Structure 1
Amino acid sequence: MSFTRPSGKHRRPSRAVRVSANVAGIATLTAAGVVAGVAAPAFAASGDDSQRPEDTGLTQAIVMGDVMADTIDAQAETQRSAADEAAARSHAEAAAKQKAADVKQRYEEAKRKLEEEREAKERAAREEERKRLNTFVMPITGSYVSTSYKASSGLWSSGSHTGVDFHADSGTSVHAVGAGTIVEAGWGGAYGNNVVIKHNDGTYTQYGHLLTIEVSVGQSVTAGQEIGVSGATGNVTGPHLHFEARTGATYGTDIDPVAYLRSHGVDI
């Protein structure tokens, strides 16, 4: 026999999934005999409210199916939202980690470059200082040797020249040949006004017969610095500069001044 849908709450036709689920529910109820009971003559209109179609088990099953579908949809939506939030958090965390790694890498690169620049500046400064300390010059610019080392003459108490004489008119500027410390500055007997410098390599140089002295004991000097002016003080026959190179501070430790200057790079 034909089945007539009772009036009352109907399923929403737009929910195809629900329709499929409810149809399956109806089939189950039919197999259980529910539809058969509803199809009895009492299905017709009656004054007994308990026999109204909307109160049958079929109607209840449809309503329950709608509620379950809504619950499942809500759960699915919740799960999707949770998954989306988790993915968003994961993406944000990965982006933050990458940004932190990039910042650290840039910092390390900048630090490395600064360290390299600092080391380069320090090397340049050390090299400049080394050059300054090891640079030697002529005691009188543009002069020449007028009396050689170990020349023999009765003018010297030792019988030979312990240094060299550089030609210089009185008042000519006399320079320290290299960096060092003044260990003697004053009257030196036969040397007249003289200056003795201890250099950084442990050698000494002497400058004699000066007209005036412009440095004092303990003072540090650099190569080319003026220490006085030439003259004719002490045991001399005319103005010039007496220059000695020594291994010690005192008389008798002299070495060849020309060879000494040449060994320090002076063109003489």
Structure 2
Amino acid sequence: MAFTRATGKHRRPSRLTRTTAQVAGVAALTTTGVIGGLAAPALAADTAAPADQNGLTQAIAIGDTLAAQIDAQATAQKKAAEEAAAQKKAEAEAKRRAEEARREAAEKAAKEREAKERAARAAERKRLNTYVAPISGSYVSTAYKASSGLWSSGSHTGIDFHAASGTTVHAVGSGTVVEAGWGGAYGNNIVIKMNDGTYTQYGHLSSIGVSVGQSVTPGQQIGLSGATGNVTGPHLHFEARTTPEYGSDIDPVAYLRSHGVGI
């Protein structure tokens, strides 16, 4: 039976049309199981066609390539995600270590500062509880309870330290000035209430350098020695008392020695 085409310009079927037809034909023949003798030459011719004209082969090739690309992309994305996670973890660990080191350094500095402050406070307490001699590098020229008509009581109520006029006089310990001025036979004198509740007196001064109510510390200059009041020459009269009043005197040598001052 002959086939006719519409009148007009005859065109050769396109490659897409031919390929589609070939694929359809092969599929149909394969499905029905009928491959006639007349169809054999055509089938052989189609089989010998170039691979790029074989629709099934091309479809399969394209599918495999796309799947491989997707797999490669997924692998790359997974690797990138793992690397990013590892980087983030490393950064977090570095930050944690830096913070820990900073905290340890701060704690160490705080402990060192606290230790220094404790040591400074201890040193200050020790200094404030320390006693010194009222005249540096001197000696006792008149002893306690020495007898003489020079004193109204008939005996010496303190000790005299050898000192030229103008020699620095020190507070023997920490305390508060309760008297600073003229003291009759004592001349210019200072009386200090010590932190332990006792009192010390410094007499015959040529100059007074403190005032009543002022706090003093061990070794602080409070005046200068002299020869004011009832004296035969310049020296420092020093007394230790249980009250600020005359007549409450105690042995000043024993008093100073009990506080660690060797005289």
Q: TM-score scaled by structure 1?
A: 0.74
Find the counterpart in structure 1 of residue 195 from structure 2: 200
- More deviation, 34-43/241-250: 34-43
* CA deviations over 1:71-122 (Å, ceiling 9, x no partner): 3213312320221122112211111111111211220122022112212321
SS in structure 2 opposite 1:94?
helix
Find the counterpart in structure 2 of residue 127 from structure 1: 122
Rounded to whole Å, the distance in 2 between the matches of 1:42 and 1:203 is 139
Does the aligned pair in 2 maintain the 1:193–1:208 contact within 8 Å?
A: yes
Does the aligned pair in 2 maintain the 1:45–1:52 contact within 8 Å?
A: yes
2:214 counterpart (219, 223, 240): 219
Find the counterpart in structure 1 of residue 62 from structure 2: 67
- Aligned CA distance change for structure 1 residues 42 and 260 (closer, same or farther; 3 Å): same
- Aligned CA distance change for structure 1 residues 171 and 79 (closer, same or farther; 3 Å): closer
After TM superposition, the structure 1 = structure 2 runs for residues 248-263 of structure 1, keeping only pairs within 5 Å, are 248-263=243-258
Find the counterpart in structure 1 of residue 4 from structure 2: none
SS in structure 2 opposite 1:44?
helix
SS in structure 1 opposite 2:189?
strand
After TM superposition, the structure 1 = structure 2 runs for residues 75-224 of structure 1, keeping only pairs within 5 Å, are 75-224=70-219
Rounded to whole Å, the distance in 2 between the matches of 1:216 and 1:190 is 20
What code does the residue aligned with 2:235 have? H
| Cα deviation, residue 216, structure 1 | 2.0
Does the aligned pair in 2 maintain the 1:133–1:200 contact within 8 Å?
A: no
* CA deviations over 1:41-94 (Å, ceiling 9, x no partner): 313249xxxx9556xxxx444233223312321331232022112211221111
Find the counterpart in structure 2 of residue 238 from structure 1: 233
Rounded to whole Å, the distance in 2 between the matches of 1:86 and 1:137 is 78
Rounded to whole Å, the distance in 2 between the matches of 1:182 and 1:130 is 20
Rounded to whole Å, the distance in 2 between the matches of 1:90 and 1:113 is 34
Find the counterpart in structure 2 of residue 41 from structure 1: 38
RMSD of Structure 2 on Structure 1 (CA): 3.1
Rounded to whole Å, the distance in 2 between the matches of 1:250 and 1:216 is 18
- Stretches of structure 2 lacking an aligned partner (at least 5 in a row): 1-14, 17-25
Find the counterpart in structure 2 of residue 21 from structure 1: none
Rounded to whole Å, the distance in 1 between the matches of 2:185 and 2:251 is 20
Percent of residue pairs bearing the same amino acid type: 58
SS in structure 1 opposite 2:166?
coil
Does the aligned pair in 2 maintain the 1:136–1:178 contact within 8 Å?
A: yes
Does the aligned pair in 2 maintain the 1:144–1:166 contact within 8 Å?
A: yes
- Aligned CA distance change for structure 1 residues 38 and 150 (closer, same or farther; 3 Å): farther
Aligned residue pairs, count:
234
